[in-house]
Structure 1
């Protein structure tokens, strides 16, 4: 049953099929958790928000729209869900305000690590360079390369238009290339 298309999986979930819900949960939990953690910087809050998010989806399954692709819906909905949780929590505790238009994602070197030492060195430098990018560029890079979302799915997730995603991704890659070129000049 795990080889179902997104459309069939979503339709089955809407009809109350617990197996479909389980597949959806297992398929998207890790990537949504990592994305939420980038937004909140708090593991407990992210886990609680994600649990509540999936409960909300199941409880409101009859009211969900039909979908061809599940990922953009889940990422954009969870993004709004966790930002609301953070801002609600802010009323009770002094926590940093999260602007729903610009999420501040930072990368760690571990997200780029492979088994080779030279690759590890390059990955640490890449993480440093990516963290110097503007917030929106970092979020687009994260959604593109870590969550494997397509440009139209990123646009839906971030609530911006398709061309803005393309332009932001292009600027981010251009900035990284320029930074790498400058870094190479300084190190030689």
Structure 2
């Protein structure tokens, strides 16, 4: 099976039980979903276990999955719900951080920003601090857009908000970052 199949063909093959299609899906999305899950759970073990269980769940329930034209939004939104459910379930048994499934608290690291920068302005050493100052919803939208390379329509699906809200949130986040960068540049001059 070719690795550059359309999402629709890959998903259809998976639903029909094609193990190679499942393998391609796993290899294509594992790292991105893992990083996103880690942002949600802040725990490597919970993230890894949840992601493996999530992929097993997808394979075991493949015949009942809806038809898809694009896979990424479905996987991100489903995994988001899946890991939040796992966190809430484990919270009942042990102390696990409190989580609001509507607003995920994402924090950026300098390493993530080195490879995902759009302009020289954002090469500022204070960017992680500036990003982490943004409201939670803005941080999640920025993370999904620039770290997971999702389109606004896909982000809307993942976060269960409308398309216009995604665009407004991205616009507000970038506006906030530009204002903060301008203030820093002014202070440093």
Class of the TM-score when normalised by the shorter of the 2 chains: over 0.9
Post-superposition offset of 1:139: 0.2
Q: Are residues 1:4 and 2:5 paired?
A: yes
Report the counterpart of residue 98 of structure 1 in structure 2.
99
Q: What is the CA-CA distance between 1:186 and the residue it aligns to?
A: 1.1
Change (3 A) 1:155 1:90: same
CA distance in 2, matches of 1:94, 1:38: 18
Find runs of 4+ consecutive structure 1 residues off by over 4 angstroms. none
TM-score (norm 2): 0.94
TM-score, structure 1 as length reference: 0.95
Q: Residue 60 of structure 1 aligns with which residue?
A: 61
Aligned to 1:182: 183
- Distance across 2 between alignment mates of 1:122 and 1:129: 12
**Kept in 2: contact 1:113–1:123 (CA 8 A):** no
Q: What corresponds to 1:139 in structure 2?
A: 140
Q: Name the residue aligned to 1:38.
A: 39
CA RMSD across the alignment? 1.2
Any conservation in 2 of the 1:89–1:95 contact (CA below 8 Å)? yes
Conserved? CA contact 1:112–1:123, under 8 Å: no
| Structure 1 residues not aligned, in runs of 5+ | none
Q: Tell me by how many angstroms 1:94 deviates.
A: 1.5
Which residue matches 1:149?
150
Shift of 1:123: 5.1
Matched, 1:26 2:58: no
How many residues were matched structurally?
183
- Determine the C-alpha separation between the residues in 1 that align with 2:156 and 2:30: 21
Q: Which residue of 2 aligns with 1:162?
A: 163
Distance 2:28 2:185 in 1: 40
